[in-house]
Amino acid sequence: MSCRAVSVLSKCRISQQQIRGKAHFTFQPSQTLPAALQSMEKTKMNLMQSVNEAMRIAMETDDSAVLFGEDVAFGGVFRCSLDLQKKFGKDRVFNTPLCEQGIAGFGIGVAAAGATAIAEIQFGDYIFPAYDQLVNEAAKFRYRSGNQFDCGKLTVRTTWGAVGHGALYHSQSPEANFTHTPGLKLVVPRGPIQAKGLLLSCIRDPNPCIFFEPKILYRLAAEDVPTGDYTIPLGQAETVRTGKDLTLVAWGTQVHVALEAAQMAKDKLSADVEVIDLQTIQPWDEDHVVESVQKTGRLIVTHEAPISSGFGAEIASTVQKRCFLNLESPIERVAGFDTPFPHVHEPFYLPTVHRVFDAIKKSVNY
Amino acid sequence: MTKYFNLVLQLERIWTTTMALFARQLQSLTASGIRTQQVRLASSTEVSFHTKPCKLHKLDSGPNTSVTLNKEDALKYYRDMQVIRRMESAAGNLYKEKKIRGFCHLYSGQEACAVGMKAAMTEGDAVITAYRCHGWTWLLGATVTEVLAELTGRIAGNVHGKGGSMHMYTKSFYGGNGIVGAQQPLGAGVALAMKYREQKNVCVTLYGDGAANQGQLFEATNMAKLWDLPVLFVCENNGFGMGTAVERSSASTEYYTRGDYVPGIWVDGMDILAVREATKWAKEYCDSGKGPLMMEMATYRYHGHSMSDPGTSYRTRDEIQEVRKTRDPITGFKDRIITSSLATEEELKAIDKEVRKEVDEALKIATSDGVLPPEALFTDIYHNTPAQEIRGATIDETIVQPYKTSADLLKAIGRA
């Protein structure tokens, strides 16, 4: 048994691991823009630049907006806040010490006092020291004060997801850790256009938001982004590919994996897969997904985070209830395994296009 | 003025020692050959040096400023620091060649801290540190190969490639830790176990000036003092928490005083002898049951915070060059031991050569050894990880995870 296991799994032996691998997906720029954005002027931007642009606009249009976090003064490790200190001054863009709990709590205070707080936690993996403040304080401030106080002007930006070589503490996707907490809004963009519009929405939304930025997309993803001030509504999903045979739901980087798997299914199985980018994870756009599954009869949810208690479970549970009689096959989840995020074995952990394709095949042949 | 006084003192000491040596050599000339006598004398001679005095917090007296060093130790410390420097250069190059996954934080510039503290440690003492852990891992028993191969994720690595740069371990070394500030309370816990077992040991708990601002340190400090735990909270102050200079991140940059009710000492972390002497003193302090002590090691890092940080956007290249030229822990030590005749230029050159060879050989293994089979992904998650079903190469070929621990897997592939 054990020998066979080795031989089976080792067929894909890791010879390419001599050198860090290339990205496990291909970025697919948005095909169509929402009507309101079509007439706007556009420039080529990567995700880092579009986040920068969103923060610039937020600070220009709101005198009370301040930006702080570890090393943000010189642009932050990913350069998202590049030149913002120069533009807005040291009293509005400033470095904090290395203290995530402090950053989150400080941000809540700033927001509760009526200013717009944009707080950066350098890596999503470092958000856990701030977890108590976000879950126990930020999320419940409005509720426990009977709406007398809130910290809705707080937006926490943090980097998110696999990056190809990040290992245990620079790769995690902690969105599901927060979806168990009513009172927070959670957003993950799939590219520069969405990042800009969704981040501006988060900053202006009267609820505390956590904005997860897929760090692998910062430089790798570039597309024509409208240059003006625009927002993309929170709580709305977007269908990024239409199809009639199966619904595939994803967010962040995984949308691009899903799009590739959908194309593969078209080529190899002649299956028309509909791909939905959830965009806002909490509150999520139930109706949008349900309507799609009522049409296709099949659902796969895919995310990078470990499968157990991942947000895919929530979607699956809701859809089986609302679409019970529409379903043609069991709802499938394709996700990271229930392991810590691995060091050398990242390519085996990730829900790659092949794993998603296999799930599609299983579902349409059910 | 004090600087000048110290210099005079030091010159005086060197002069006295040299004269004493000279006199003894003259005496022995009558007996056997001069050459052998000189070597014998040199190896048995202790030279004394003067170190910068420690600054003290809530203490009446501190470590001695007059320290002695013998030839054997001098050569050993020199070698140890050179191995770390060389190994880190190799790691930096591997990273630039994209052969390293995970992140990579280099220790270059801070060698005197680790080597000096290790020199004063005794059997049973424990260490826990943050992510800048390659040097410590090697000092505490791992080989250069184990460190470099861990960085490249190979089976020969310290954790067989499962941990990477920030996660390496040896006996009594509770590892590098990836999350800033996470290790400080753990160090206090390790010290509690020592106290409970009535060990005469300390847990050296290291963190940077960045992590000094994490709340967990203050929680740990309180517990450590409350229960008088034998823990040394050592702040390696290299001037920058990631890209922010200490003055811009810390309301008080006197980290040795920030334990408030816990006494502390400031140590010149660029002088290995000062570090050794201070650690010896600190250990005695803990051993006598007085509880925890804060230590601040004033040091400097030459590279950026991690490899993705060029390290030049928040400080000038000139500043780094200046430190390299005037305060480098290795060059400074080298000058001292040559000037005081504890070592010759040739001896040190021979060591350099040997070190280069050791690192080069380790590099070969680190870039050529195999990677653990993918089953390793599922080992070591729980004690006796339940066997999981994993999809095989085709959709119908599901297998049950055959190994529970990395050790089982290593055995199966003949690498135990």
Terminal-residue alpha carbon distance, chain B = 61
For residues A123 and A206, state if they share a domain: yes
pLDDT bin (cut points 50, 70, 90) of residue A19 is very low
Report the CATH number that the domain containing residue A127 is assigned in CATH: 3.40.50.970
Query: How confident is the model at residue B2, as a pLDDT?
Result: 47
Which chain A residues are closer than 8 Å to B242 by Cβ? 70-71, 77, 98, 122
By Cβ distance, the residue of A5, A20, A77 closest to B402 is A5
Report the CATH number that the domain containing residue A260 is assigned in CATH: 3.40.50.920
For residues A278 and A351, state if they share a domain: yes
Residue A290 lies in domain: 236-364
For residues A207 and A334, state if they share a domain: no
For residues A67 and A177, state if they share a domain: yes
What number is the average pLDDT over the span A20-42?
A: 87
For residues A297 and A360, state if they share a domain: yes
Query: How confident is the model at residue A11, as a pLDDT?
Result: 40
The answer to whether the CB of A303 falls within 8 A of the CB of A310 is yes
- Burial environment of residue A10 by CB neighbours within 10 A (0 to 12, 13 to 18, 19 or more): middle
For residues A201 and A66, state if they share a domain: yes
* Mutate: best of B131, B244, B379, B381, partner A, most A CBs <10 A: B244
pLDDT bin (cut points 50, 70, 90) of residue A9 is very low
For residues A204 and A72, state if they share a domain: yes
pLDDT bin (cut points 50, 70, 90) of residue A4 is very low
> B1 versus A342: which is more confidently predicted?
A342
Q: How far apart are CA A219 and CA A195, in angstroms?
A: 13
**Which region, left, alpha or beta, applies to residue B76 given φ > 0 means left and ψ of -120 to 50 means alpha?**
alpha
| Residue A16 maps to a domain | no
Last residue of a domain, one of A193, A226, A259: A226
For residues A176 and A303, state if they share a domain: no
For residues A301 and A167, state if they share a domain: no
* Mutate: best of A78, A344, A357, partner B, most B CBs <10 A: A344
Instruction: Note down pLDDT in tens along chain B; length 416 residues.
Output: 444 445 444 545 555 454 444 444 444 433 333 333 333 344 458 999 999 999 999 999 999 999 999 999 999 999 999 999 999 999 999 999 999 987 899 999 999 999 999 999 999 999 999 999 999 999 999 999 999 999 999 999 999 999 999 999 999 999 999 999 999 999 999 999 999 999 999 999 999 999 999 999 999 999 999 999 999 999 999 999 998 999 999 999 999 999 999 999 999 999 999 999 999 999 999 999 999 999 999 999 999 999 888 888 899 999 999 999 999 999 999 999 999 999 999 999 999 999 999 999 999 999 999 999 988 988 888 887 777 776 655 656 677 878 888 999 999 999 98
Query: How confident is the model at residue B10, as a pLDDT?
Result: 55
* Least confident stretch, A60-69, A195-204, B100-109, B379-388: B379-388
Query: How confident is the model at residue B27, as a pLDDT?
Result: 42
In chain A, how long is the greatest CA-to-CA distance?
66
Query: How confident is the model at residue B387, as a pLDDT?
Result: 76
* pTM attached to this predicted model: 0.85
Q: Which residue of B has its CA nearest to A12?
A: B393
Whether residues A168 and B399 touch (CB distance < 8 A) is answered with no
Evaluate the CA torsion angle B7, B12, B18, B20 in order and state its sign.
negative
What number is the average pLDDT over the span A107-128?
A: 96
- Total structural domains within chain A: 2
Concerning whether A100 is annotated as a catalytic residue, the answer is yes
Asked whether the predicted pLDDT for residue A60 surpasses 50, the reply is: yes
| Residue A311 maps to a domain | yes
Query: How confident is the model at residue B44, as a pLDDT?
Result: 58
Query: Per residue in A231-277, pLDDT tens?
Result: 999 999 999 999 999 999 999 999 999 999 999 999 999 999 999 99
Q: What percent of chain A has pLDDT over 90?
A: 91
| Residue A327 maps to a domain | yes
Q: Which residue of B has its CA nearest to A10?
A: B373
| Residue A212 maps to a domain | yes
Amino acid at A156: V
Q: How far apart are CA B169 and CA B153, in angstroms?
A: 15
β-strand B264-268 against B55-57: which pairing, if any? antiparallel
What number is the average pLDDT over the span A285-300?
A: 98
Question: Residue A283, preceding bond cis, omega within 30 degrees?
Answer: yes
For residues A87 and A45, state if they share a domain: yes
| Residue A353 maps to a domain | yes
For residues A214 and A256, state if they share a domain: no
Give Cβ neighbours of residue A234 (< 8 Å, ≥ 6 apart): A185, A187, A198, A201, A202, A205, A209, A279, A280, A283
Helices A311-322 and A286-296 pack at an angle, to 10 degrees, of: 60
By Cβ distance, the residue of B101, B178, B377 closest to A337 is B377
What number is the average pLDDT over the span A76-91?
A: 96
Query: How confident is the model at residue A7, as a pLDDT?
Result: 35
Last residue of a domain, one of A204, A226, A248: A226
Query: How confident is the model at residue B360, as a pLDDT?
Result: 98
For residues A78 and A221, state if they share a domain: yes
Query: What mean pLDDT, rounded, does chain A reach?
Result: 93
| Residue A307 maps to a domain | yes
- Burial environment of residue B201 by CB neighbours within 10 A (0 to 12, 13 to 18, 19 or more): buried
- Burial environment of residue B10 by CB neighbours within 10 A (0 to 12, 13 to 18, 19 or more): middle
